[in-house]
Amino acid sequence: MNLLDTLLRCVGALVVFLTFPLIIGQTEHKVMAHMQGRLGPMYAGGFHGWAQLVADGVKFVQKEDIVPAEADRKVFQLAPAVSLLPYLIVLLVIPVGPNGFVGQALDAGLFFVLAVMGIGVIGKLMAGWASANKFSLLGGLRTAAQLMSYELPMVLAAASVAMAAGTVSLTGIVAAFHWWWIPWQAVGAFVFFTAGLAELQRPPFDMPIADSEIIFGAYTEYTGLRFAFFLLSEYAGILVVSALTAVLFLGGWHGPLPDSLGWLWTLLKTFALAFVVIWLRVTYPRLREDQLMRFAWTGLVPLALGQLALTGIVKVAIS
């Protein structure tokens, strides 16, 4: 019965959270349409373009599935799944509410999510290498450089909040949260969220895609549903980064709502952060590659180390 209960919870969480990336994708269409005066996304289906997401899905299904003749066929076909599945797996261990409101609670949940999120980036590396296209390969190399640069500050920022809570369990971190942590861990939250955007290659950190320079990076040779899976992995990544930031630095289910409605408070924080991700896309221009690297090593890494040192000092002072 315990195994069946765990399986049902995992399947239920996957079904629920698989719809959330689609909601974020639909929201991005609408938010960008309002911010940039785009009329197209407001027409599909009539009222406020409610069928835009359905129209996009039909479009991707109808497109021909093409594999370049010189591509490494198996790796090329596997890359979209490798890019998407890790983010869906991570969603299973992120606590949404108190009293076990989580797909699968892990004692080392923070280690698990950081490790599995890195696998999602490998899918993009596979796509860039297997496409037999110089633009795709260049996009894959940029992805690798970006991953190595921004993984370090992200891990250091997460280590800071784990040190503050005295546990690497995501549920334990939320349970140990106090409201005065928000200003105390504010720098760590900024570093974690920013590094997460860079790992997702979201603007202004989208140099591995850079459609005006290298067509569409690692995705250049992809069409149809495989290309749609890459887009879905990006939206799933937005959900993961936003949810982790809410859980680690904003108290997760803690808020003015009763504990029984804590899940709602977590979702509100998550989607507020997802809105910030979309807002950044339409607000800031793409960084140059040298600016991208410099920002990580001379900006985020020192900030993360400073936050880690501050956390250690505060922990010693209050103990």
Q: Does position 5 have pLDDT exceeding 70, yes or no? A: no
Q: Does position 258 have pLDDT exceeding 80, yes or no? A: no
Q: What is the mean pLDDT of the segment spanning 254-264?
A: 80
Lowest mean pLDDT among 1-15, 49-63, 119-133, 285-299: 1-15
Helices 134-165, 186-199: axis angle to 10 degrees equals 160
Structure tokens at 21: 């990336």
Q: Where are the alpha helices (DSSP H) in the chain?
A: 2-36, 52-62, 73-91, 109-130, 134-165, 170-175, 181-184, 186-199, 211-214, 224-249, 262-281, 289-295, 301-318
| Average pLDDT value over all residues in the chain | 84
- Contact in structure between 84 and 236 (CB atoms under 8 Å): yes
Q: Does position 278 have pLDDT exceeding 50, yes or no? A: yes
Domain ranges of the chain: 21-35+53-318
- Structure confidence at residue 109 as a pLDDT band (50, 70, 90): confident
Q: What is the mean pLDDT of the segment spanning 169-185?
A: 89
- Contact in structure between 128 and 201 (CB atoms under 8 Å): no
- Structure confidence at residue 1 as a pLDDT band (50, 70, 90): very low
Rounded to an integer, what is the distance from CA 106 to the centroid of its chain? 20
Tell me the one-letter amino acid at 65.
Answer: D
User: Which residues, 6 or more positions from 92, have their beta carbon under 8 angstroms from its beta carbon?
Assistant: 10, 13, 14, 17, 102, 103, 104
pLDDT tens, position by position, 193-216: 999 998 888 888 888 787 777 777
Give the model's pLDDT for residue 9: 65
Q: What is the mean pLDDT of the segment spanning 40-49?
A: 71
> The pTM is what?
0.89
Residues 301, 303, 309, 311: what is their CA dihedral angle, to the nearest 10 degrees? -120
Q: What is the mean pLDDT of the segment spanning 79-104?
A: 83
Q: Does position 63 have pLDDT exceeding 50, yes or no? A: yes
